[in-house]
Amino acid sequence: GAVVSQHPSRVICKSGTSVKIECRSLDFQATTMFWYRQFPKQSLMLMATSNEGSKATYEQGVEKDKFLINHASLTLSTLTVTSAHPEDSSFYICSASRTGGETQYFGPGTRLLVL
């Protein structure tokens, strides 16, 4: 199979702090990883696409200085929400695809609550 994990699954933080979310492909090498955001009862919105060893490509309207993405290896990508505010509270989901593959495998998601 193709398993993607995320850590933590749930995080609560104070406004102004930074939070790091990890996304790992456990049994395959992921050249490309994607970060999505999902608000309650809504669809997933693509935030950024990251390729191992290069800068992430952000979607229009996503602040790259606020949502820092690092894809340091073929099995790990991290999303850091800097200076988090209550409006950043959301469900963040990552996905990964194999080299040349069209199918994305999704992590279980991370629920962020900023107080």
Partner 1 sequence: AQSVTQLGSHVSVSEGALVLLRCNYSSSVPPYLFWYVQYPNQGLQLLLKYTTGATLVKGINGFEAEFKKSETSFHLTKPSAHMSDAAEYFCAVSHRNQAGTALIFGKGTTLSVSS
Which member of 6, 25, 77, 90 binds partner 1 (CB under 8 A)? Answer: 6
CA–CA distances in Å: residue 27 to residues 21, 42, 109: 19, 30, 18
Our finding on whether 25 is near partner 1 (CB under 8 A) is: no
One-character DSSP codes across 14-62: -TT--EEEEEEESSS-EEEEEEEEE-TTS-EEEEEEEETTSPPEEPTT-
Residues in region 60-89 near partner 1 by CB under 8 A: none
Our finding on whether 112 is near partner 1 (CB under 8 A) is: no
Which member of 29, 108, 113, 115 binds partner 1 (CB under 8 A)? Answer: 108
Which member of 49, 70, 80, 82 binds partner 1 (CB under 8 A)? Answer: 49
